[in-house]
Amino acid sequence: MPFTQFIKRASSLLGIDYDSNNRKHPPIDGEIVFCKNNVCVHPPAVLSNQVQHFPGYLTIKSQDDQVLGTTLILTWIPNSNLENNPRTVENSPAHSGKNNRISPRRSPRQDFASEDYVSPEEPPPTTLGVTNVLDETEEYEYRLPSKEEVHAALADTWTSVTSYFKATSFDEKEKGEEKSETSETPRVSESTESDSGKCLKNPTKKRLKKSSSGSGSSQKSLSIEMEGEQLTVVSEEDVFENDSKAKVDKLKASFKLNLEGSNTPAIRIRSDSRSSTDTSGPDSPSSRSPICVHQFSFPDNSVTYQTSPPIDSPSSPASAVEKICGVFSVDLGQMRSLRFFFEDESSCSGQMVIASRESQYKVLHFHHGGLDKIRQTLSEFQFFAARINGDCRQLTVVRPHIEKHVHPEEGAYSKVNLDTWNQHMNEKGQIEDSYTLRKAVFFAGIDQSLRREMWPFLLSYYPYSSTFDEREQIRNEKYIEYQNIRKLREEMSEEEREAFTRNIQCIVEKDVVRTDRSHAYFRGEDNPNIEVLQNILLNYATLYPQYGYTQGMSDLLAPILAELQHESDSFWCFSGLMRNTIFVSSPKDVDMDKQLVYLRELLRIMLSSFYEHISKQSDGLDLLFCHRWILLCFKREFCEADALRMWQACWAHYQTDYFHLFICVAIIALYGEDVVQQNLPSDEILLHFSSLAMHMLAEAVLRKARAILHDFRTRSTIPCTLSGLCTLCGPGIWDSGHVPNIVCIGGPEHSH
Amino acid sequence: MAAGPYNYSYIFKYIIIGDMGVGKSCLLHQFTEKKFMADCPHTIGVEFGTRIIEVAGQKIKLQIWDTAGQERFRAVTRSYYRGAAGALMVYDITRRTTYNHLSSWLTDARNLTNPNTVIFLIGNKSDLDAQRDVTYDEAKQFAEENGLMFLECSAKTGENVEDAFLDTAKKIYKNIQDGSLDLNAAESGVQHKPSNGPRGANLGGESSGNKDPCSC
């Protein structure tokens, strides 16, 4: 054990406040520099009628970083995850995969649960033997049997919390779970106090509590503790209420100032925190708790949640809540800033607001102290520049250099392979953090061997939240449903059949024999797979007579069938593709027009010289050269492997549902310079780009497309015509997404 | 800057139209590559082919637009037709429906091109005579009634393919010679000399000519 660590350990054991200013050496890769239980995430109030508290476990771990030297990975795991699935964290392959330590740029999620969640038998190398003292009181306070009960309880007044806890019994089974979790409690090197600084409770007292709660008299000891806890809260509340509204206003005003002083256009404190953000009753804890004074609301133009159901979980707002309150893991070195809002000057409770470079926000609520400690711990890292702005303490991430015209997270992800895939799946087979997974697909793609397994998720056949069993069930049900569709087609009346044959079947028959015939799966005379391809298309046209069959569909289906090699599964994945992707072979002009309106506008604001050129040519704005790109999603512009990379990047629905349009812009940005320089007319622009098919560099195009998407998303204003580009995909793990201010300019495009 | 295959006097724009699966792309491929392409993927949007031919000692570059049989965006098909000097209208002799649709293709071609556009009717798949569904005579009669040139071809064997493309060019060239096709008209579909200015950095990569294009 290095001497400094020995000193540190000794100091902390002796209760001496280790002078952090002396600590200049960087932490070891993988070392946990901070952890804290019961840090809350609140779903945006619009998603529910009252503030819901989702407590979770927060860790900050150091990780080697090529640029910064050391970066920090912040991970918040909801208690419910640990509760439902206490072994999730151990199942993480990162846990067994020590080779992860070698990788210089691991994705945050990849190893969120590796060394920090080792069982006692296997202490990690960085362990210093200081047991993490979890605050059992708070554990019980939040370890609630069900969400409904939380709601019920929170609907009561804050002062009746005690009665709630008396009413809530913990059965033996739960206690057992608690215990086993406690034994799996991470061992960490330092800063392990759950409540630190001024708010730190007496450790001795805590241990007493712990033992008493384990002794079978938990209810009694709990209620006593809760009273203690309640006292604190009530007193806080009293202070707050006695202090009159003036202080609140002052607080709000100062927050507003701080935030507006920063470069980001996003957070403003809502002037009346009670009315709109919290729609709960006047007596509900949310509206009376001092925390709520600080309740952030995001500007009107930010995306807080989907008004329409998200792509990958077409259910209810509940799924949005689950997403926002699911595992949150980010590389702090990749963020823009961290802000700390303390409840008052003497408190170490409050909120930490993480802002990404793309102005997405995550608010972590420290109801039980620890905020000062985390701020102090973080401020020791050199890549943060500290700033005090009134009541807000801010740490701005300072990176030595950011490559221009490149997405800042470029290179931070590696291809999703079987290992990464398994890491994201809990023991029931659910994907808990689809956002990070989709992000990795977006940046780095999917290993070929994993396509068959992962495409059904990307194509909305299986929900990410489904379990193994549920998927088996879906598969069976969909198989039967598919057979019924087939029967429907076979049982057509003579008249219907004749029309169907004329309008659909003879076209499909013509196309399937010339679709991807060079592909191994469809090669050769009398290949039975061609008939399967045909059947799927005919059944699709039967199920969706309004779409029928249009040329291009076979091109979109063939790679799916070749990968899944199963008729029914391919049918449903294809249906999902047609539903989710707007670039589908639509029989209607309006769908294509919508795409072209977006593309024109993107070109106008992102590549103005090109836009000016085409707008001067007759029919230039028809963008003829882009039609095939959009219809087949670049299948004829790149070799199959590259085209599928692009498909997957689009299917990931990361930050936009129109990534294909950003790819179009990227191609033009990279290969369209000649067009302007040589003043080419429309015909020759078409010739120019069609002669480039199969000669473009996919990696460069994708990289450019990501950069353009980032550039687009960080713009301060965009025309209203483009406001729909980044809404459907939702904010993922963040509390808020960000879209720039929308300006309606009433340009000529509007009439187009 | 003379000599070489890239030295040509005119560029003619052609379009190939007709129902899906009649063999438009295969005809083009046979003409430009002198090969039959089995499993030729269906065309989405528009594709291109070029070939330089010689008519009356003049080198002419044919720029051929191969369109999709099932065009979904009527708004843009206009762009394909615009400025076409020649239109090859194709049907499949083994499928009567493709023949029956000719009148609607012809209407489009007439409406969307200029009056001097040469329209050539091609009955493709003449190698499949056993499965013939449309007789030579009735198609010939249809062509005469509508003032179209006509040949039956086979993209597979190459029979008559060359002639169809060349005869169209000869007719266009004749129209230029007798003055019925005005080269200065905006959409004549003919460029005299490989254009003025730095154009044509595509399809074969020919360098642009340095001669004054059209002195008028």
CATH number, residue A545? 1.10.8.270
Q: Which residues of B touch A548 (CB under 8 A)?
A: none
Residue A110 lies in a domain: no
Confidence check: pLDDT of A752 > 50: no
Residues 6+ apart with CB under 8 A from A25: A4
Assess whether A567 and A598 both reside in one domain.
no
Assess whether A543 and A601 both reside in one domain.
no
Q: Angle at which helices A589-606 and A698-713 pack, to 10 degrees?
A: 80
Cα torsion through A661, A665, A666, A668, rounded to 10: 140
Q: Which pair of tokens denotes residue A509? A: 């028959």
With CA atoms as reference, the chain B residue closest to A507 would be B20
What does the pLDDT read at residue A270? 35
Q: Which of A357, A382, A398 is the last residue before a domain boundary? A: A398
Contact between A551 and B69 using a beta-carbon 8 Å cutoff: yes
Assess whether A727 and A647 both reside in one domain.
yes
What secondary structure, in 3-state letters, does A318-333 show? Answer: HHHHHHHCCCEEEEHH
Higher-confidence position of A482 and A171: A482
Contact between B48 and A510 using a beta-carbon 8 Å cutoff: no
The closest alpha carbon to B70, from A504, A620, A496, belongs to A504
**Tens digits of per-residue pLDDT, B156-168?**
999 999 999 999 9
What does the pLDDT read at residue A432? 85
Give the angle A388-A389-A392 at the CA atoms, nearest 5°: 85
Average model confidence (pLDDT) for chain B?
A: 85
Q: Which residues 131-190 of B are in CB contact (within 8 Å) with A?
A: none
Nearest to A674 among B39, B76, B201 (CB): B201
Confidence check: pLDDT of A199 > 80: no
Flag whether residue B73 sits within 8 Å of chain A, measured between CB atoms: yes
Q: Which pair of tokens denotes residue B66? A: 């191969």
What does the pLDDT read at residue B183? 79
The closest alpha carbon to A504, from A529, A540, A455, A456, belongs to A540
Q: Which residues of A touch B45 (CB under 8 A)?
A: 624, 627-628, 631
Q: Which residues of B touch A627 (CB under 8 A)?
A: 44-45, 73, 76
CATH number at A381 reads 2.30.29.230
Contact between B46 and A632 using a beta-carbon 8 Å cutoff: no
Residue A66 lies in a domain: yes
Residues 6+ apart with CB under 8 A from A660: A581, A583, A629, A630, A633, A634, A646, A650
Element (H, E) at A719: strand A717-719
DSSP letter, residue B201:
-
Residue A451 lies in a domain: yes
Higher-confidence position of A486 and A19: A486
Q: What percent of chain A has pLDDT over 70?
A: 58
Contact between B68 and A690 using a beta-carbon 8 Å cutoff: no
- Cβ proximity of B164 and B122 under 8 Å: yes
Query: Which of A498, A680, A682 is the best mutation test for B, with the most CBs of B within 10 A?
Result: A680
Nearest to B74 among A589, A628, A678 (CB): A589
For chain A, the domain total comes to 3
Contact between B20 and A502 using a beta-carbon 8 Å cutoff: no
Confidence check: pLDDT of A414 > 80: yes
Rounded to two decimals, the ipTM of the complex is 0.84
Distance from CA of B171 to the nearest CA of A (A): 23
Residue A385 lies in a domain: yes
Give the range among A401-405, A427-431, B116-120 with minimum mean pLDDT: A401-405
CA distance B47 to A656: 30
Assess whether A594 and A737 both reside in one domain.
yes
Give the range among A387-396, A435-444, A567-576 with minimum mean pLDDT: A387-396
Q: Which residues of B touch A586 (CB under 8 A)?
A: 72
Confidence check: pLDDT of B196 > 60: no
- Cβ proximity of B188 and B114 under 8 Å: yes
Flag whether residue B214 sits within 8 Å of chain A, measured between CB atoms: no
Assess whether A626 and A569 both reside in one domain.
no
Side-chain-side CA neighbours of residue A237 (13 Å) = 17
Instruction: Render the burial of A242-255: b for 16+ CB within 10 Å, e for the rest.
Output: eeeeeebeebbebb
Q: Which residues of A touch B79 (CB under 8 A)?
A: 619, 622, 624, 682
The closest alpha carbon to A719, from A744, A739, A738, belongs to A744
Confidence check: pLDDT of B127 > 50: yes
With CA atoms as reference, the chain A residue closest to B69 would be A551
Q: Which domain holds residue A614?
A: 590-743
Distance from CA of B197 to the nearest CA of A (A): 8
Record: fold of B10-192: Rossmann fold (3.40.50)
Residue A362 lies in a domain: yes
Query: Which of A505, A509, A510, A515 is the best mutation test for B, with the most CBs of B within 10 A?
Result: A510
Pairing state of beta strands B58-67 and B10-18?
parallel
CB atoms within 10 A of CB A279: 16
Assess whether A558 and A609 both reside in one domain.
no
Nearest to A514 among B41, B73, B202 (CB): B41
DSSP B102-153: HHHHHHHHHHHS-TT-EEEEEEE-TT-GGG--S-HHHHHHHHHHTT-EEEE-
Q: Point out which residues pair with A365 in neighbouring strands.
A: A40, A351
Give the range among A297-311, A417-431, A479-493, B22-36 with minimum mean pLDDT: A297-311
- Cβ proximity of A330 and A73 under 8 Å: yes
Beta strands per DSSP E along A249-389: 328-331, 335-342, 350-356, 361-366, 384-389
The closest alpha carbon to A361, from A294, A274, A303, belongs to A303
Flag whether residue B40 sits within 8 Å of chain A, measured between CB atoms: yes
Chain centroid to Cα B82, Å, comes to 13
Mean pLDDT, residues A52-56 taken together: 85
CA distance A593 to A680: 24
Residues belonging to chain A with any Cβ–Cβ distance to chain B shorter than 8 Å: 502, 506-507, 510-511, 513-518, 550-552, 554-555, 585-589, 592-593, 619, 622, 624, 627-628, 631-632, 636, 674, 678-684, 686-688, 690-691
Contact between B199 and A687 using a beta-carbon 8 Å cutoff: no
Assess whether A565 and A705 both reside in one domain.
no
Mean pLDDT, residues A57-70 taken together: 82
Residue A235 lies in a domain: no
Assess whether A536 and A504 both reside in one domain.
yes
Contact between A515 and B41 using a beta-carbon 8 Å cutoff: yes
Q: Which residues of B touch A674 (CB under 8 A)?
A: 201
Assess whether A552 and A612 both reside in one domain.
no
With CA atoms as reference, the chain A residue closest to B201 would be A688
Assess whether A456 and A570 both reside in one domain.
yes
Query: Which of A588, A624, A689 is the best mutation test for B, with the most CBs of B within 10 A?
Result: A624
**Tens digits of per-residue pLDDT, B46-85?**
899 999 999 999 999 999 999 988 766 666 777 889 889 9
* Chains A & B: contacts with CB separation below 8 Å: 97
Residue A437 lies in a domain: no
Assess whether A459 and A509 both reside in one domain.
yes
- The amino acid that residue A297 corresponds to is S
Give the range among A76-80, A441-445, A628-632 with minimum mean pLDDT: A76-80
Query: Which of B74, B76, B95, B187 is the best mutation test for A, with the most CBs of A within 10 A?
Result: B76
Flag whether residue B207 sits within 8 Å of chain A, measured between CB atoms: no
**Tens digits of per-residue pLDDT, A241-254?**
444 444 444 444 33
Distance from CA of B40 to the nearest CA of A (A): 6
Contact between B198 and A691 using a beta-carbon 8 Å cutoff: no
| Residue found by looking up tokens 């615009």 in the block | B82
Domain range annotation of chain B: 10-192
Distance from CA of B170 to the nearest CA of A (A): 24
Nearest to A587 among B48, B72, B201 (CB): B72
Confidence check: pLDDT of A303 > 80: no
**Tens digits of per-residue pLDDT, A672-729?**
998 999 999 988 899 899 989 999 999 999 999 999 998 888 787 888 788 777 766 6
Assess whether A479 and A511 both reside in one domain.
yes
Contact between A586 and B68 using a beta-carbon 8 Å cutoff: no
- The amino acid that residue B37 corresponds to is M
Residue A689 lies in a domain: yes
Q: Which residues of A touch B199 (CB under 8 A)?
A: 678-681, 684
Side-chain-side CA neighbours of residue A44 (13 Å) = 28
CA distance B60 to A318: 67
Q: Point out which residues pair with A57 in neighbouring strands.
A: A77
- Read off the pLDDT band of A345 (50, 70, 90): confident
Contact between B202 and A688 using a beta-carbon 8 Å cutoff: yes
Contact between A514 and B40 using a beta-carbon 8 Å cutoff: yes
3-state secondary structure of A35: strand
What does the pLDDT read at residue A257? 35
